[in-house]
Amino acid sequence: MVRNMSLRHAALGLLVEMDGASGYDLLKMFEITMNNVWQATQSQLYGELNKLTADGFIEVASEGPRGRKEYRVTDEGRAELRRWLLEVPPKVVRRDEILLRLFFLGQVEPDEAAAFVRAQAATLDDRLTALGDLEGNIEWGDENLSFYGRLAMEYGKRFMAMRRDWYDWVLEELAERGAPEK
């Protein structure tokens, strides 16, 4: 059985890049770097760290104050990360709540439908602004996380711009359908 377990590998990968860290550190790092790529709750992360330890992919390098456990990736962990990167085909999950709602917009009044789309566009504009701010505040170095983080950020920008254009196009289509009499 080849399970996917992306959270596992997200944690493993970050631990490699961070060159060891505690669950708490990892959690913060997740919030900063992985927020737009992979989400994880605190309980999920701590649980996964224990499983990774049990499986020998990471180990407790040292214990600090407040019960802090500093984790370090083992050679087996590095091998597993590599295997996952190169040999496990990425699963494309297609699940989009906004697109799902779109399908059923015929069930509400045309002006309600248009309002829905406009609201999504407005939300997107906010996110776009936030992304711009974020980008300005980051100092991009040449470490791996910086380099690949920048690539991911560019993706985010392109994605949102594409989506924004599409919303505008949808609004035109809705208007045309609503008033098709020439």
Helix-helix angle 6-18:42-54, to 10 degrees: 80
Among 16, 18, 36, 47, binds DNA (CB under 7 A): 47
Contact between 152 and its own copies per CB under 8 A: yes
Is position 46 an interface residue for DNA (rule: CB under 7 A)? yes
Residue 3 interacting with its own copies (CB under 8 A)? no
Separation between Cα atoms, residue 52 and residue 170, nearest integer Å: 46
Q: Which part of the chain contacts its own copies (CB under 8 A), choosing from 18-26, 42-50, 63-71, 143-151?
A: 143-151
Please tell me the distance from the alpha carbon of residue 102 to that of residue 117, in angstroms, as a whole number: 8
Give least dist CB 98 to DNA, A: 15
Neighbours of 38 (CB within 10 A): 15
For tokens 């609503």, the residue is 178
Which residue number, 28 or 68, has a Cβ lying nearer to its own copies?
Answer: 28
Q: Is residue 63 near its own copies by the rule CB under 8 A?
A: no
CA dist 25 and 22 (Å) reads 5
What's the min distance (Å) between Cβ of 56 and its own copies? 18
Of residues 66, 57, 55, the one with CA closest to residue 22: 66
**Counting contacts by CB under 7 A, is residue 50 touching DNA?**
yes
Binding site for DNA (CB under 7 A): 3-7, 22-25, 28, 39-44, 46-47, 49-50, 64-69, 93, 95
